[in-house]
A and B are shown apart, each in its own frame.
Chain A
Amino acid sequence: MLVKPILDEALCNGCGLCVDVCRCGALVLVKKIIKIIEAEDCGYCTQCELVCPTGAIQCPFEIVIEETIEIGPEE
């Protein structure tokens, strides 16, 4: 399942800034509370988190190490 921004509806003040900043239309206000729709379009740009004045949106990142073949710095 696609990871989506995490919404805390209790913190949402219904200002709609996140809806306006969203590039893919994944966020909507339903009765002045933020909801995610069509989340498969969400590119996780984190702009919604950036503009949210109440901290109602969180875009946490997993931090992982890529398994790669070690290449020496020089021959």
Chain B
Amino acid sequence: MAIEVALLKSIPYFLGLSTAELEAIRKYVFEQAVGKNDMILMEGDPANAVYFVVSGAVKVFKTSVEGKEQILCILRPGESFNDVAVFDGGPNPASAIAMTPVLLYGINRANVETILRDYPNLAANVIRILSKKVRHFVSLVEDLSFRHVTDRLAKLLLEYATDHGTVAGEPGARPRLTQQEMAAVVGTAREVVGRSLKALEEEGAIRMDRHRIVIVNKKRLEQMSGVGAGSG
């Protein structure tokens, strides 16, 4: 399928470029269709191209040596990834996987340099996009390094379950919280809440039971959240 100028226009990287300019840039763009759950990039591999999501959703993540995953961002149509590696010449800083069937546009590193040289107006777009990414990652670093998100999440779960007097198996009105709401309450990103819930489950403090978060070890949660810390 040919690269469509109309689709290029919808990508923030190319904001403000004329149709004639996009027509000229089009020859540098390649298309890549990726199946659901297929890896697009592997962390540490040489970076060959910057990619733009045309359709579908892409998860960008890092994996620890223990196999724990930290989502860095979920990318939707119009958004780009692997820009940093293409601009600084280093390897892919993170892995990327297709969450759905994905259509990507890509531009090889050498061609990115050519385009930026020929269309310097594009540089302002790139700076804006990279700045937005830096802001997102700075916020994520803050969450991951300075805050004990898991401990605060433990406190939130305890408070919610306790305040509303809910016991598994008992009927009645129960408070329900989305992971986004939990993130807002403990002051973190939804991506971090997902990982923290997994951590609590691995600790044996909770059990994810479909739409229920079951507190199976209340004492452990209390220890983590600092409730009753003086008891022992």
Closest-by-CB residue of A relative to B232 is A73
- Once A17-B56, A20-B36, A51-B76 are accepted as A-B contacts, the answer to whether A61 and B100 lie under 8 Å apart by CB is no
Chain A interface extent, by class: 20 to 34
Counting residue pairs across A and B whose Cβ atoms lie within 8 Å, the total is: 101
Q: How far is the CB of B134 from chain A (nearest CB, A)?
A: 22
Chain B residues, CB < 8 A from A3: 210-211
B100 touches A67 (CB 8 A): no
Q: How far is the CB of A2 from chain B (nearest CB, A)?
A: 8
A43 vs B209: C-alpha distance in the bound complex, in angstroms? Answer: 10
Chain A residues, CB < 8 A from B57: 17, 20-21, 51
B213 touches A65 (CB 8 A): no
Chain A residues, CB < 8 A from B178: 49, 58-61
A53 touches B211 (CB 8 A): no
Confirm or deny: B2 has a beta carbon within 8 angstroms of a beta carbon on chain A.
no
A64 touches B211 (CB 8 A): no
A65 vs B177: C-alpha distance in the bound complex, in angstroms? Answer: 15
Chain B interface extent, by class: 35 or more
Instruction: State which of B99, B179, B181, B216 has its C-beta within 8 Å of the C-beta of A66.
Output: B216
Mark out the residues of chain B between 202 and 217 whose CB falls within 8 Å of any chain A CB in the assembled complex.
207, 210-216
Q: How far is the CB of B136 from chain A (nearest CB, A)?
A: 15
Closest 9 CB pairs of A and B: A20-B100, A60-B176, A3-B211, A64-B168, A51-B57, A63-B160, A62-B174, A65-B215, A44-B210
Mark out the residues of chain B between 28 and 73 whose CB falls within 8 Å of any chain A CB in the assembled complex.
36, 56-57
A63 touches B175 (CB 8 A): yes
